[in-house]
Structure formats: structure tokens, C-alpha cells
Amino acid sequence: MILDRVLPFARTIMEKAAGPNDIVVDATLGNGHDTVFLANLVGPRGHVYGFDIQKQAIINTRARLKEHNLEERVTIFHSGHEHVAELIPTLHHGEIKGAIFNLGYLPGGDKSIVTTPKTTLQAVQSLFDILAPEGVIVLVIYHGHEEGAVERDQLLSYLTEIDQKTAHVLQYQFINQKNHPPFIVAIEKK
């Protein structure tokens, strides 16, 4: 397949937005796959701030980082991503080059614990405020479950109204696949 699938494309965007020595955010740690990717992307002098509300996600992410010897590059907050602006040191406000959200539930975990429209929107708005110019927020939207469809609709209605003078907003989606495959929305701050 020539076209990038959704998850690799999310990473391609992050690779364009951030690199060695940068500050980035993993807004949904989950099992830590993106955290490891981001920690490698920013290198030993960069930093990743990660958020998750579930103890199991924190445990899984810490274990994965340990396995790759990357713990020192990541600060983990056992807290909702809606608190990004309070928890990320003010020193780094305005310096964040990239943030990724993988919405929905923890794979292999409790499927009743999902990201919610209200807190996801709060987090996107707060993160946008503390992004660097040309910083990017990537959201992978899973809309196959009921709450995911509501989250998708609320996010899209907010994102499509963002003033084009302040941000470029992109949607990347395969439109002929069955079973509600995930899609990407990316917001680049001008």
C-alpha cells in the first residue's frame, strides 16, 4: 500500500513537527507505544510530558520506557490531559513542538474508561495555547464506540470553526473502509 495508514501518518506528522532537543506531549499514555516513539524522537536532551488517568496505563508505560532505557526523557503525570497547562512547567509554555492524542480506551484494559469530549476539548484548547509557533497537535480519533462517535462530532464541530488565521487544521481519513476505522485530525499553530 502506497498511502500511509493512519497510525504511521500520525507519526510522520510528529516527525515533521519535532526532533532532537524538543519538548513534546503524549496526551494519552496508554501502553506507552507513542511515548517510546516520542522519547526516541526528541533524544537525550529533549523531553516528553505524558498524561493518563489510569494506573494501569502508567504502569504499562513505565515498564515500556524502562525496557528501552528511556525513563529519564519522560515526565509522567497520573492525571487527565485537561490539566496540561497547570502541570507542564511554565518554563516550557510556548515551546511545545508536538502533542499526540490516541483517543478511546486502553487496548487490553478496561473498555469502559474512555476519553471524553469535554476533557479532550479542554486539553486541545489548553495545549494549543502553550504550543510553539508551527507546533502541531495530532489526534487519532476512534469513533467505533458510542462515546467515540460523540467525541468525534464535538471535536470536528470545534475544529472546523478554528480561525484559519490562527491554525491549519487537517483531516486524514480513509473513506471507503468498513467498521469506522480511526482517522486523524492535526492542528498546526500559525
90 to 149, contacts with ligand SAM by CB under 6 A?
Answer: 102, 104, 106, 113, 115, 119
Between CA 140 and CA 17 the distance in angstroms is: 16
Contacts of 170 (CB under 8 A, 6+ apart): 184, 185, 186, 187, 188
Asked whether 97 and 135 are in contact (CB, 8 A), the reply is yes
Asked whether 76 and 54 are in contact (CB, 8 A), the reply is no
Instruction: Identify which range of 52-60, 143-151, 154-162, 164-172 contacts ligand SAM by CB under 6 A.
Output: 52-60
- Rounded least distance, CB 147 to ligand SAM, Å: 10
69 to 98, contacts with ligand SAM by CB under 6 A?
Answer: 80-82
Compare residues 65 and 102 and give the one whose CB is closer to ligand SAM.
102
Taking residues 31 to 50 in sequence order and writing x for each that binds ligand SAM by CB under 6 A, - otherwise, the string is: xxxx----------------
- Rounded least distance, CB 46 to ligand SAM, Å: 18
Between CA 72 and CA 69 the distance in angstroms is: 8
Neighbouring C-alpha atoms within 13 Å toward the C-beta of 169: 17
User: Binding-site residue total for ligand SAM (CB under 6 A)?
Assistant: 20
Asked whether 12 and 35 are in contact (CB, 8 A), the reply is no
Considering the rule CB under 6 A, would residue 182 count as an interface residue with ligand SAM? no
- Rounded least distance, CB 190 to ligand SAM, Å: 26
Burial of residue 45 (CB within 10 Å: 0-12, 13-18, 19+) is exposed
Name the residues that contact ligand SAM, by CB under 6 A: 28, 30-34, 51-54, 57, 80-82, 102, 104, 106, 113, 115, 119
